[in-house]
Chain A
């Protein structure tokens, strides 16, 4: 799916005004930037490789083992830097995760992602990405003010017996108030935050079960929806 297709998809859903759309557009830009940067690094790496191999070869010939080891280690480091992490095939979902990975790097959050690919068909992937970005926004806001070692956000999903099961968790020691329906009450004022409302809208649209709970100093969002068409 091209970026033009994704944009037209987004616009056709009438989501222009939504904050999440802006976020997704930023995410696409971030993904493009990351890809370009990685490609540039690989180009340089390829260029440097001949010289590096010749240098390592010369070091080995001269018995300068330490020098050779350093050369190999430089090469290894450059390879690592040129890596472009790809979480999933879907561009919008991947771009959303790349945006939060970048935010995590900037704000010192450990961001763990184990995401099962979302099969096409039943669930609209763009809507899923919007839901995900809202949930991640809530989690990141919650951890960014915590002490450095507690700043972790963990996203995990799995396809289990035809169901897409997702868990988003972050440390949370401050007691969270829940309403009678089990929804977390926004600390910003009455009612629920916009992010949570958007998550609930996705859940309603896709006949998903979503739960929020706090236990063992963790705040956890769980969601499950069927992939059967």
Chain B
């Protein structure tokens, strides 16, 4: 289930937004958590509560919504941040933390619902993206979000996951590209080499010969794939690959 965290220090605003978001959430199986303090929200996030969408006020006494967004970015890979504030002055700062949307109070009910729907769509797409891998032990569902890279060796595909584990496919009877077609159709994955497919969310240092990964590993970059890799890398890193962000 998708969970939305709402944080606003003003009790009246928190109640009003909570009611509105609650109305939106009822028909969509979405859970809501309300926080009147940025620290309470951070504490819950640090404990491992799985929030998917954040609806944040900006002008709060103990910590601005922008600083809160920065902290959340350290705790979650790609948090969807929606700012709901009375000031337009923080728009550039919201851009800096890659906010999903920036809305000014008082917000129109329908506008808020539209933005929340787009955010929800993004969350659901993320959770639905899985790749079923036939292994010797049966079918294993690999979530796109946890797959760092896939490597082909001797007609076997090795899926390297973010937690360090490796899932080994059965002997492939099709080509590597055909086998990984669902991955390659996603804007997240790119081939830096004939035998590698990489998740761009884990891309780190790029050189002409290799692509470093946030896990500390690196994959080779073949000359024939370099141009496409660089183009996809820049598009992804600069945020063009997504949709809906500021």
Interface size class of chain B, counting residues whose CB lies under 8 Å from the partner chain: 20 to 34
Residues in chain B near residue A156, CB distance under 8 A: 238
Q: B237 touching A163 by the CB < 8 A rule?
A: yes
How many angstroms from the CA of A161 to the CA of B234 in the assembled complex?
Answer: 12
Q: B208 touching A209 by the CB < 8 A rule?
A: yes
- The chain B residue with its CB closest to the CB of A210 is B230
Q: Mark B203-239, 1 if CB is under 8 A from A, else 0.
A: 1111110001010000000000000001101101111
CB distance from B200 to the nearest CB of A (A): 9
CB distance from B174 to the nearest CB of A (A): 32
The answer to whether A28 has its CB under 8 Å from any CB of chain B is no
The answer to whether A39 has its CB under 8 Å from any CB of chain B is no
- B residues near A, CB below 8 A? 92, 95-96, 98, 202-208, 212, 214, 230-231, 233-234, 236-239
Q: A165 touching B230 by the CB < 8 A rule?
A: no
Identify the 10 closest CB pairs spanning chains A and B, nearest first.
Answer: A160-B237, A165-B237, A222-B234, A226-B205, A161-B204, A161-B214, A209-B206, A224-B206, A167-B238, A211-B230
How many angstroms from the CA of A29 to the CA of B205 in the assembled complex?
Answer: 37
How many angstroms from the CA of A224 to the CA of B205 in the assembled complex?
Answer: 8
How many angstroms from the CA of A211 to the CA of B233 in the assembled complex?
Answer: 12
- A residues near B, CB below 8 A? 114, 116-117, 156-158, 160-163, 165, 167, 207, 209, 211, 213, 222, 224, 226, 228
**Beyond the given A160-B236, A226-B205, could you list 5 further A-B residue pairs with CB under 8 A, ordered by the A residue number?**
A162-B214, A165-B238, A211-B230, A222-B230, A226-B212
CB distance from A151 to the nearest CB of B (A): 22
- Chain A contact residues: over half helix, strand or loop, or mixed? strand
Residues in chain A near residue B214, CB distance under 8 A: 161-162
How many angstroms from the CA of A51 to the CA of B207 in the assembled complex?
Answer: 62
How many angstroms from the CA of A160 to the CA of B212 in the assembled complex?
Answer: 13
How many angstroms from the CA of A14 to the CA of B231 in the assembled complex?
Answer: 35
Residues in chain A near residue B207, CB distance under 8 A: 207, 209
CB distance from B231 to the nearest CB of A (A): 8
Q: A158 touching B204 by the CB < 8 A rule?
A: no
How many angstroms from the CA of A209 to the CA of B203 in the assembled complex?
Answer: 14
Q: A114 touching B234 by the CB < 8 A rule?
A: no
How many angstroms from the CA of A117 to the CA of B92 in the assembled complex?
Answer: 12
Q: A163 touching B234 by the CB < 8 A rule?
A: no
How many angstroms from the CA of A163 to the CA of B206 in the assembled complex?
Answer: 9
Q: With A114-B95, A116-B96 given, is the CB distance from A224 to B234 under 8 Å?
A: yes
How many angstroms from the CA of A158 to the CA of B246 in the assembled complex?
Answer: 13
Residues in chain A near residue B238, CB distance under 8 A: 156-158, 160, 165, 167
Q: A158 touching B206 by the CB < 8 A rule?
A: no
